[in-house]
Amino acid sequence: MPVANTLAEIRRYLENEIAEGRATAEVSPETAAAFKRAASSGPARRSPETPAAAPAAERARAEEPAAAPAAGDELAAVARAVAGCARCGLHKSRANTVPGEGPPRPAIMFVGEGPGEEEDRQGRPFVGAAGQLLTRMIEAMGFAREEVFIGNVVKCRPPGNRTPLPEEMEACLPYLRRQIAALQPRVIVALGGTASKALLGLETGITRLRGVWHSFEGIDLMPTYHPAYLLRNASGKRPAWEDLQEVLRRLGRPVPGPKKRNRQG
């Protein structure tokens, strides 16, 4: 591997370690010995035919911002941080944390309010009855579930599947913000009133929020009904599908028409 690439990889590794709050880094004895030999040998000699870098160029290189960690690395760092998180009381009753799942550069990111019983058991988002409906909604849009990112505002299950408390969401929002910054989805779909209010900072109900474009840190955001609500209220399915059609139009994707039923006889 070229030296420049090696240095970039080391820099990203150390930045992740610092972000995780670690003050030391583990290296093998051979690597430590190599570092010690390099330090004791002094700076490398410059060949006579190679001119010294101009001071201005040296300053420009020194002032360049550090390369941001790759999206996949940042998502993995967030998942590790979530796994050890004890910022609020939800960690006391969780079986598993549920950081979210999906590709590192999705067109769409779906955000719900928090894990339920099945999600807590498996450590994966939206795998219960509401998750099965969400998967069908995603497929109706022309995507596979694996092509979008699915997450929640809080990463631990609230007891009894209650709505997350404001202080619980406040404690967990930094993780979601890091995920969104790393993913940079083209569109965020906020599922339900809790997720919409957490991302938008509004107290407006989901009935008034849904179907209208909003923005979260420069990313288009569409609020719509939560799949769990749709399981209880079939009348909300048509408006929810209209919201998802607007998402497809914003992405420049074809909008599927109504499915034709096969006639018999």
H or E segment to which residue 219 belongs: strand 219-224
Instruction: Say yes or no to pLDDT of 195 above 80.
Output: yes
| H or E element in which residue 18 lies | helix 3-19
Please determine, for residue 180, whether its predicted confidence score (pLDDT) is greater than 60: yes
User: Is 192:202 a contact under the CB 8 Å cutoff?
Assistant: no
What does the pLDDT look like over 40-82, one tens digit per residue? Answer: 555 444 434 434 434 444 443 333 334 445 899 999 999 999 9
- CATH number for 71-251: choose from 3.40.630.30, 3.40.470.10, 3.90.120.10, 2.60.40.10: 3.40.470.10
First to last CA, the chain: 68
Q: What is the mean pLDDT of the chain?
A: 83
pLDDT classification of 17: cutoffs 50, 70, 90: low
Residue of 122, 125, 153, 149 whose CA lies nearest to 138 = 149
pLDDT digits (tens, 9 = 90+) for 115-132: 999 999 999 999 999 999
Query: Residues 168, 90: contact at Cβ < 8 Å?
Result: yes
**Tokens 């911002």 belong to which residue?**
65
3-state helix, strand, coil in the chain (%, to 5): 50, 10, 40
Fill in the amino acid letter for 147: E
Asked if residues 244 and 224 have their Cβ atoms less than 8 Å apart, the reply is: yes
The span from the CA of 257 to the CA of 236, in Å, is 18
Q: Among candidates 112, 187, 190, 199, which has minimal Cα distance to 157?
A: 112
